Structure 1
Amino acid sequence: MTLPVRALRWSAVLATAAVLGSGSNAYADGPEGNTTVPSADQPSGSTDGKGGLKASVSHIRITYVSGGNGGGKRGNLGTVDSNWKPPACWYEPAFTPAGLKKFVDSDGGGDVGIHESWFGKELWTDHYRDGKPADNFDAHKPVNSSAEGYKNYNLGQSGYFWRGVAPNAADPNSWDCGRIMFWVDAGNLPNDPNSPTPKTLAEYAYDKIKVPVTEIKVKPEAKSTVNLPTWIWLDKGRFKEVKVRAELPNTGLWAETTAKPVALHLTPGTDDAETSPSSDNCTINDDGSIGTPYTKGNADKTPPCGIRYLRATNGQPYRLKASITWQITWQGTGGAKGNLPDGTFETTQDMNVQEIQSINR
Structure 2
Amino acid sequence: MTPARAGFVVAAALAWSALALCPPSSAGGPWDNSDPTPPSRPADTAPDSLTSHVSFAYSYHGSGSRMTSSNTSWSPPACWYEPEYSADGMEKYLHDNYVAEHIAKEVIGQDQDPGGINYHTGEKGAWWQLKTPDLDTAQNCNAQHSWLWVKPGTPATPEVPVIDPATLAQDAYNHTVLPAPPITLRPAPENQLVNVDTQVTFDQPLTRVWVTARIDNALADVHIAATTVAVPTQLRIDAGTDYADPRTCTYDLTPKGASYSVDTRNDACNVTYRKASPAGGSYPLTASIVWKVTWTPSANPDGPPAAAPKLPDGQSVMTSQVTVQENQAVNR
TM-score normalised according to structure 1 size: 0.67
Percent identity between the two aligned chains: 27
Q: 1:346 aligns with which of 314, 317, 323?
A: 317
The residue aligned with 1:211 is: 178
2:154 maps to amino acid: L
Matches within 5 A, 1:4-19: 8=4
> 1:320 Cα shift?
0.3
Choose 146-155 or 335-344, whichever is displaced more: 146-155
Distance 2:114 2:136 in 1: 28
Letter paired with 2:193: T
CA contact (8 A) 1:274 1:308 kept: yes
AA partner of residue 143 (structure 2): C
Q: 1:121 to 1:242 in 2, by over 3 A?
A: same
- Counterpart Cα distance in 2 of 1:331 and 1:85: 19
Tell me what 2:290 maps to: 325
Q: Per-residue deviation at 1:191?
A: 6.4
The Cα offsets for residues 15-53 of structure 1, whole Å up to 9 and x where unpaired, read as: xxxxxxxxxxxx93888x979x865445999xxx9x895
Greater strand percent: which structure?
1
Structure 2 gaps, min length 5: 24-40, 299-303
Q: Which residue of 2 aligns with 1:121?
A: 98
Q: CA deviation at 1:341?
A: 0.8
Structure with a larger share of its residues in helix: 2
**Once the two structures are superposed, what CA deviation does each residue of 1:109-134 show, in whole Å capped at 9, x if it has no partner?**
xxxxxxxxxxx4224x5577xxxx53
Cα distance in 2 for partners of 1:190, 1:103 equals 26
CA distance in 1, matches of 2:314, 2:307: 18
Q: How does 1:285-300 map onto structure 2 within 5 Å?
A: 285-287=254-256, 288-292=259-263
Question: Are the aligned partners of 2:249 and 2:271 in contact in 1 as well (CA < 8 Å)?
Answer: no
Instruction: Answer with 1 or 2: which has the greater Rg.
Output: 1
* 1:145–1:279 CA distance, 2 compared to 1 (3 A): farther
SS of 1:176 mapped into structure 2:
coil
**1:100 is matched with which residue?**
90
> How far has the Cα of 1:355 moved from its partner?
0.9
Q: 1:312 to 1:302 in 2, by over 3 A?
A: farther
Q: What is the 5 A alignment of 1:1-361? A: 8=4, 28=8, 40-41=20-21, 58-64=52-58, 67-69=59-61, 72-105=62-95, 107=96, 120-123=97-100, 133-134=105-106, 146=112, 153-185=119-151, 187-189=152-154, 192-193=157-158, 194-221=161-188, 222-237=190-205, 239-249=206-216, 250-275=221-246, 280-287=249-256, 288-292=259-263, 302=266, 306-315=270-279, 316-332=281-297, 336-338=306-308, 339-356=310-327
SS of 2:311's partner is strand
Cα distance per residue 1:272-298 (max 9 Å; x no partner):
2235xx9721221213343338xxxxx
Q: Which runs of 5+ in 1 are unaligned?
A: 1-5, 11-26, 108-119, 138-143, 294-300
Give distance in 1, aligned partners of 2:76 and 2:213.
13
Amino acid at match of 1:321: T
State the distance in 1 between where 2:283 and 2:296 align.
42
